Amino acid sequence: MTIKILIGAASIATYFSALAYALFAVGKQTFASYLRLLKSRQEGRAGIVFATMFMLLALLAALSTWYYIIRFFDWTLSTVAGGSWQVWVSDSDLFFQAYRLVSKTPQHWFWSSQLLVSTCAFVSILKSAGGRQVWRFALLGFLGAISVAFALFLADWVCREQLSKSSNDSTLSIIRSDVGQPPLHTIGPVLGFSVILALVSIGLIPLLATSSLPYAVNLIFLHVVLLVALLPEPKRLGTKKTLLPQWLRRLAIFALVYLLFQLGQIFAAASGVESHALGQTLLAAIVDNDCQTSITLDLFFGLGAAAMFFVYRTAQSHHQRRATQ
């Protein structure tokens, strides 16, 4: 028992240490870029406004998602471990317990799967940026919340893009292509194949019994391939690559098709039930347990960050057209 407690305590300490490091590293990098942007002498202040909004969104996402994560920890301590810290540390399987809660019904999985598909898009954007800082953002997203890492990534990107424009110094930008363009532009075969495997794994989750070994193996496989997706592209695999915007459109189409497929399954399984009642079950699933609420909020905040970035890029394009007229 003592050995199990030590192993459990070591794993929990490792988790929170890695999360703290990622949060500190990402926060330090983003805040440093933000301060440099505040001190710069730009004519337009749109970059500062949007960077501030992204950072506030990240803060709100962190507070909201982790409020429910802490509630989930407390629930496992009081319910699963019977209030015993020793049992909780040694026997609580938080990773798999959380996934079982968010995939136990089609209604729960409807929301959870959308976050995982969005994570594939998040990984694709991170990989396209390149550089060692990508792993910091990935670590923060995987261990903390995807929406927090994504919002801070976009805040840092906006700051560096604006600084590189004002100083004509492309080294300030995390963008590895021309300044002002989307990050990098291309998706290599390692990333592409890994994301495809991740999507297949996501599709398999509701088909497997949550208490079975294949379910656990599939979850581990899903997270491994998402990490593999961030590895450098070997040169021997060739130079054929897909444009990032085109790749993101494909992921968006897959997400839409998968969403409609899930809705079809839910309606088919509840034939005779009125549509508004099914809609209520979907909404009820969000607040069914703390884990579900946390990841659904993570999904909504991530989509909010993406929508905000779309507004930012639209405003920048409009400003560039006016400047050239």
The 10s digit of each residue's pLDDT in 181-202 is: 334 567 888 889 999 999 999 9
Residue 81 binned pLDDT confidence (cut-offs 50, 70, 90) = confident
pLDDT, tens digit, 9 for 90 and up, residues 192-240:
999 999 999 999 999 999 989 999 999 999 999 999 999 888 776 555 6
* Confidence (pLDDT) at 325: 62
**Residue 307 burial (CB count, 10 A):** 10
Euclidean distance between CA atoms 89 and 8, whole angstroms:
5
In this prediction, residue 289 carries a pLDDT of 93
State the pLDDT at residue 1: 57
Contact predicate 323/44, CB 8 Å: no
Position 171 scores a pLDDT of 44
pTM: 0.89
Confidence of residue 170 (pLDDT cuts 50, 70, 90): very low
Better-predicted residue by pLDDT, 37 or 1: 37
Residue type at 230 in one-letter notation: L
Answer yes or no: is pLDDT of 175 > 50.
Answer: no
Q: What gap in Å lies between CA 30 and CA 14, rounded to an integer?
A: 24
pLDDT-derived band at 142, boundaries 50, 70, 90 = very high
Q: What is the arithmetic mean of pLDDT over 76-99?
A: 84
Do residues 166 and 39 touch, judged by C-beta distance below 8 A? no
List 187's β-bridge partners, or say none: 242
Which residue, 139, 151, 128, 135, is CA-closest to 247?
A: 128
pLDDT of 110: 93
Check residue 43 and report its DSSP letter: S
